[in-house]
Amino acid sequence: MVGLGVVLNFIGCKSQNETKNKTQNVSKMEIIKENFGTTTEGVTVDLYTLKNNNGMIVKITNYGGIVTSLLVPDKNGNMDDVTLGFDNLQAYLDGHPYFGCIVGRYGNRIAKGKFELDGVEYKLATNNDENHLHGGEIGFDKKIWDAEPVENEEGVGLKLHYVSEDMEEGYPGNLDVTVTYMLTDENELKINYEATINKPCPINLTWHGYFNLTGGKEKILNHEMEINADKYVVVDETLIPTGELRDLIGSEMDFTSPKTIGSRFDKVPGGYDHTYVINKSSSEIDLVARVYEPTSGRVMEVYSTEPSVQFYTGNFLDGSLTGKNEIVYEKQVGFCLETQHFPDSPNQPSFPSTILKPGEKYSQTTIYKFSTK
Ligand code: GLA
């Protein structure tokens, strides 16, 4: 049960012209902390509500670092919740397909749940048929993170910290991870990940938000999708890469110019669940995708430092879960754009390395920017 919130910050930002034009520009940014419930082990979990000066709202719990709500204006200024999830902790504890959570240590699959590093074979949980998925049985999506509200010139945020001990879920090394969510006045949800380790280990962190820019009023098939990728990672029937990066131009995989998600759905058995290889420029952060939903006018742009994005159309949703606002989560009710490294990189020598070594710093940044047209 969500109790009465405590306003942690009420930030009085003033515009640069304030003295000149004598207008009073009182900040509407705030962070509210509420009790979100107690885990089965008796640990209390919180829910933080972040609000920017435009009234955009993001709710985040320190259980799994889950973004439970994302309230974004449409072209008429009406707010809708554009992310899938629940309004109570118990529903998350009961099990869900990674709604809005931080995924680690390794997002997506590792073949047969094993990899070799410096001559040692490491065994991981096989929690997705014969493969390892999203960090194992109790991945970062189910951990309780230390949380600290943040306010700076960009906006309001929440800094989450977790230490994953040596051999947790079979992965070597003590990994120290910080994930900071910032809600900016540019209507961006900006996620910054940093990590260090004391033994080499594959690391591939991502955020598993599901979006529906109609606010759940319709399925996602009429959303217009553009993905900045000329190639995708070919996978076998267990969704493990074959090693081939295939040109997609002109095929049903091609989103280099805007196409509705549903336009070629009949040619993609089961729906999209593919890793797109981002066309990287010389800048550190590149456009990954742009999504436009015509009825609401909402636009979401995704930018990232990562080499690829997993475009997933909720193919495994089966109507057995009902989320916020009584929306039944059936197939194609939400889509994900998970920015990350390629699946199974620890077993694929031709893929960019995901090994984090002692003395190095893992860092990745991804921005989900909302606007209307
Ligand atoms: C990722 C994977 C999918 C599926 C979902 C979770 O997006 O690519 O195959 O496992 O996570 O249901």
pLDDT tens sequence across 263-307: 999 999 999 999 999 999 988 999 999 999 999 999 999 999 999
Q: How high is the pLDDT of residue 24?
A: 55
pLDDT at 26 over 90: no
Mean pLDDT of 9-33: 57
Q: How high is the pLDDT of residue 25?
A: 66
Q: How far is the CA of 349 from the centre of ligand 1 (A)?
A: 23
Residue with CA at minimum distance from ligand 1 atom 8 = 273
Q: How high is the pLDDT of residue 9?
A: 53
Residue with CA at minimum distance from ligand 1 atom 5 = 97
Mean pLDDT of 358-371: 98
pLDDT at 16 over 90: no
Q: How high is the pLDDT of residue 14?
A: 34
- Mean per-residue pLDDT over the chain, rounded: 94
Render pLDDT for 56-107 as a digit per residue (tens, 0 to 9).
999 999 999 999 999 999 999 999 999 999 999 999 999 999 999 999 999 9
Q: How high is the pLDDT of residue 2?
A: 39
- Of the given ranges (18-27, 157-166, 334-343), which has the lowest mean pLDDT? 18-27
pLDDT at 22 over 60: no
Render pLDDT for 302-337 as a digit per residue (tens, 0 to 9).
999 999 999 999 999 999 999 999 999 999 999 999
Buried b (16+ CB within 10 A) or exposed e, 114-149: bbeeeeeebebbbbbeebbbbbbeebbbbbbbebeb
Render pLDDT for 118-136 as a digit per residue (tens, 0 to 9).
999 999 999 999 999 999 9
Rounded percentage of the chain residues whose pLDDT exceeds 90? 92
| Helix extents (H) in 75-187 | 89-93
Q: How far is the CA of 303 from the centre of ligand 1 (A)?
A: 21
Residue tagged active-site, from 169, 223, 338, 341: 338
Q: How far is the CA of 312 from the centre of ligand 1 (A)?
A: 7
- For residues 271 and 255, give the distance between their C-alpha atoms in angstroms, rounded to a whole number: 14
274 flagged as catalytic:
no
Whose structure tokens read 């399925």? 219
Confidence of residue 3 (pLDDT cuts 50, 70, 90): very low
- 126, 268, 336, 340: residue to mutate for ligand 1 pocket, most atoms within 8 A of CB: 336
Q: Phi then psi for 314, rounded to 5 degrees? A: 65, 35
Q: Which atom of ligand 1 is nearest to the CA of 133?
A: 10
- Cβ-contact 344, 322 below 8 angstroms: no
Write out residues with Cβ below 6 Å of ligand 1.
Answer: 97-98, 108, 133, 239, 273, 310, 312, 316, 336, 338
The token pair that represents 355 in the structure block: 């090994």
pLDDT at 19 over 70: no
Confidence of residue 159 (pLDDT cuts 50, 70, 90): very high
- Cβ-contact 24, 1 below 8 angstroms: no
CA distances to 35, 36, 38, 63, 264 from 44, rounded to whole Å, are 7, 8, 4, 9, 46
Q: How far is the CA of 236 from the centre of ligand 1 (A)?
A: 15
Rounded percentage of the chain residues whose pLDDT exceeds 70? 94
338 flagged as catalytic:
yes
Render pLDDT for 228-238 as a digit per residue (tens, 0 to 9).
999 999 999 99
Residue tagged active-site, from 96, 132, 208, 274: 208
